[in-house]
Chains A and B, each alone.
Chain A
Amino acid sequence: MIISELSIILQWGDDMKLTEEEKRIAAETTRQILFQCNDSRGNLIPVLQRVQDKLGYVPPVAMEEVAAHFQVPPVDVYGVITFYNQFRLTPPGKRQVKICMGTACHMRGAHIIQDSWERRLNIKVGETTEDREYSLERVACVGCCTMAPVVVINEEVHGKITPTRVDGLIFSHQLDKKKEQQNTKEGDATSE
């Protein structure tokens, strides 16, 4: 019952393109996290943060689990998640690119950097590339104003970014990926 309620509100399902396996893992992980804490409402945001930490996003199945645990309607959980910028509703890319949009970065051309990423990855801010390799986000300020403009990729901060540096970063990622693939191939070969 609850499930249909939420999916009507959100009109997802098709949109999210989550596999059954992903849904199962999400529900399982959420249950494990919920197991460790009581149902005091003050725990709601910390729990959601832990879910996001583990999964990288908070899917509807997780919201339903959380809502049942705290004995609140799922829409309340949805309300909290969409109020705060930290929470993602869709799976992130393997590399989460966060473009800092603080004042200093803006004045030093963060919008130009944003355009460069969008052009290179062929997605808009808030989207994930189809191969789930990259996702693009804007953040308010990472507090590295002296290194403006700043881009954070996963947890790593890159300062003084230019459009050519964007190309360079993508190129270095490609190289890393190639190396990784080669290593796994070699690993397979030796194991065989």
Chain B
Amino acid sequence: MSKESAAAAAFAALQETAQQNWAGLREKPLILIGAATCGRAAGALNLLEEVKNELARLQLDANVLEVGCMGHCYAEPIMVIYNEGFPPICYGYVNEGVGARIVRDFLTEGDPGIEFALAALEPNDMFPTFADFPRGIHENKIVMEQCGFIDPTDINHYIATGGYGALVKSLAMTPEEIIDTVKSSGLRGRGGAGFPTGVKWETCHNAPGDTKYVICNADEGDPGAFMDRTILESNPHLMVEGLIIAARAVGAQKGYVYIRAEYPLAVQRVTLAVQQAREKGLLGDGILGSEFNFEIEIFQGSGAFVCGEETALIASMEGQPGLPRYRPPFPAVAGLWGKPTIINNVKTLSYVPHIVKNGADWFKKTGTEKNPGTAIFALAGKVVNTGLAEVPMSTTLNELIFDVGSGIAKGKQFKAVQIGGPSGGCLPESAMDTPIDFDSLTRAGAMMGSGGMVVLDEDDCMVEIARFFLDFTQKESCGKCTFCRLGTKHMLDILERITKGQGRPEDIDVLLELADKVKAGSLCSLGKTAPNPVLSTIKYFREEYEAHINEGRCPAKMCKDLTAYYILPEKCERSCDACVGSCPTEAIYDNEDRIKVINQEKCVKCDSCMVACPPQYKAVVKLSPPHLVEEKEKEYREGKKKWQKK
């Protein structure tokens, strides 16, 4: 028997146990509860406990699984029930009471509780599926296919759904064949820059030396991005398999997963996945009876944004402060401990098993010629359906935000979308027809980045968001390059002044000049892209900057120093005390007409009264510039005098 067929035979045995285990689950009703970090924040663990209690109380026999996230984070906690005679149904916004009730009614009386259902998972004649909604039409799940449907802590589920098949296939291929497949698939690195993965692998493969390393970069530092976290928490084996195939292709014996320490659950899940793979003989010495040896170690990143940069990441693994260095030599030639190293993002590696299994041509069918495959975006901010969406490249921003994300929450007006985190930019409504791919987004002034997408509405101030991102990059600048260290500081000082209403007429020009210098004078992409949020907001929203500087007015009424809270006397219901009770500083009092008035000196602008004011009155408003409050109060007093004279 040849080596390859020995591996295939060893894997067939694994597959058989896995499939038995998987089929056994469906013999009883099966309940899945989404318990990734997003679900847990919404109370998924309480739901899990309550469902288990309810099952025990009713003496019902059912399998309850804690799964990952399927991307519908807006409806957390999410529960899926597979019950004989019904299509699998997915429920959203399930609190403990509702969860217990659905389980009770569905499993004892056969009432599926349609009023709580989001959608069915298989086509049927009762209830629409996810594919019937606008979101489903655009979605095309490759990496996220199994997320939320398998238990991430059980390797059998992954194997039973076709996992590690690509590894077996790759063991029968030569490293050159694997690299050729990845190269001709046109896969581009999903970490942000979009460098062709196959080329990187080939460089590393051809580099001289016996000791080589592969590293999975899971240091997802972009504020507003959470795709890597979700994938690692929901289906960690996919990345592990990709990493093993990468190691086989470049000839590495050791791999690392560099995960942020801020993602404790992801760290736990990946550690467990690696351990299980080792137990099954899919990692370690002589993988599946072949001569290929490979080990994976977990390295926890310590919370430095700059460590997302390849060379800084390597420095931090070597026990140094994470300072990037000049390239070339590229890490693929001289990386960790000076040895050839490839560093790939979680998503990039997660595509690899699918490409090896289905072939390069299959992958090229989705997306565009230069940007094949799908894009995974984390939709957050003021959009209705926040969560993760995997759509083919070339889907437009419009489709993503208004079809997949269902538009803007609370009936507000769309203003801009921030793509790519601190390295990206804000695109306004006029750029909404831009197709999502690496090249088009860069041309429009944003950046693909790792895929964070924050939607902004009319209440968001563009100067403030530019300040926010610069504040972030300024703090995270490692300090190696003078322009990045001092240039961003100066830019931040100017922006802070502007948001405080102390802007000077020449500020915009100085910002543009500094941005140019910072871009030119920085070594790594942190500095090279740091001015992007400022540049794109000046390009598209210059009038907001001018309003701040010239009139001391914040058009979105967001900048604290430029706004004041005011209670409209004509709308205030005198007998209601909601705002008084909500105020943490006792700044609201009754005037002689028993109308509520805010003492501006005591007010800390915490927004509580605005939230507390009942929606039928909506008496609390924000005014910008703040001196409008005095004018309004004067107006009110004069109006009263006139009325009294009459």
Contacts and interface: CB of A to CB of B under 8 A. Distances in A.
Asked whether A and B interact, the reply is yes
B300 A164 contact: no
Contact of B582 (A107, A142, A164): A164
Contacts of A84: 302-304, 316, 321-322
Contact of B319 (A42, A111, A115): A42
A140 B219 CA distance: 12
Contact of B318 (A41, A101, A142): A41
Interface stretch (B24-32, B355-363, B605-613): B605-613
B454 to A, nearest CB: 5
Interface of B: 37-38, 40-42, 73-74, 76, 220-226, 229-230, 261-264, 299-300, 302-305, 316-322, 337, 378, 380-382, 386-387, 418, 421, 452, 454, 456, 460, 465, 468-469, 472, 476, 478, 560, 582, 584-585, 604-608, 611
A101 B468 CA distance: 9
Main secondary structure of the interface of A (DSSP, over half): helix
Contacts of A120: 584
Contacts of A87: 302
A146 B74 CA distance: 6
Interface of A: 41-46, 48-49, 70, 79-80, 83-87, 101-109, 111-112, 115-116, 119-120, 139-148, 150, 155, 157-159, 162-164, 167
Given A83-B321, A144-B38, A157-B37, A119 B584 contact: yes
Given A84-B304, A112-B607, A119-B604, A147 B38 contact: yes
| Residue from B221, B465, B468 having most chain A Cβ neighbours under 10 A | B468
Contacts of B304: 83-85
B529 to A, nearest CB: 15
A163 B74 CA distance: 22
B302 A142 contact: no
Contacts of A80: 319-321
B246 to A, nearest CB: 21
Given A84-B304, A84-B316, A103-B418, 8 more contacts: A42-B319, A43-B319, A80-B321, A103-B224, A103-B454, A104-B381, A144-B38, A164-B608
B261 A86 contact: yes
27 contacts: A41-B318, A42-B318, A42-B319, A46-B300, A49-B261, A83-B304, A86-B302, A103-B223, A103-B381, A107-B381, A112-B606, A115-B604, A119-B584, A139-B303, A140-B262, A140-B303, A140-B305, A141-B221, A141-B225, A141-B226, A143-B229, A143-B263, A144-B37, A145-B226, A145-B386, A147-B73, A163-B606
The 7 closest A-B pairs by CB, nearest first: A103-B224, A44-B319, A84-B302, A143-B226, A145-B380, A102-B223, A85-B303
B321 A79 contact: yes
B262 A146 contact: no
Contacts of A106: 223, 465, 468
Contacts of A112: 605-607
Contacts of B300: 45-46, 49
A17 to B, nearest CB: 25
Contact of B421 (A42, A103, A115): A103
Contacts of A150: 41
A146 B608 contact: no
A16 to B, nearest CB: 21
Nearest to B581: A164
Contacts, number: 161
B452 A103 contact: yes
A39 to B, nearest CB: 10
| Residue from B300, B302, B452 having most chain A Cβ neighbours under 10 A | B302
A119 B320 CA distance: 38
B481 to A, nearest CB: 15
Contacts of B386: 104, 145-146
Contacts of A116: 584, 606
Given A80-B320, A83-B304, A158 B611 contact: no
A45 B303 CA distance: 12
B324 to A, nearest CB: 13
B318 A83 contact: no
Given A84-B322, A119-B604, A164-B608, A107 B73 contact: no
B387 A142 contact: no
Contacts of A167: 584
Nearest to B460: A107
B454 A144 contact: no
Contacts of B452: 103, 145
Contact of B262 (A41, A46, A142, A162): A142
| Residue from A83, A103, A139, A157 having most chain B Cβ neighbours under 10 A | A103
Nearest to A106: B468
Contacts of B585: 119
A41 B380 contact: no
Nearest to B266: A143
Contact of B478 (A45, A83, A107): A83
Contact of A163 (B221, B387, B476, B584): B584
Contacts of A46: 299-300
A36 B460 CA distance: 52
A157 B41 contact: yes
Contacts of B454: 103-104, 107, 145
A118 to B, nearest CB: 10
Contacts of A143: 37-38, 220, 225-226, 229-230, 262-263
B64 to A, nearest CB: 22
A146 B380 contact: yes
Contacts of A163: 582, 584, 606-608
B302 A45 contact: yes
A161 B560 CA distance: 19
Nearest to A104: B380
| Residue from A80, A84, A155, A158 having most chain B Cβ neighbours under 10 A | A84
Nearest to B558: A107
A104 B468 CA distance: 11
Given A45-B302, A159-B41, A163-B608, A145 B320 contact: no
Contact of B42 (A107, A145, A155, A159): A159
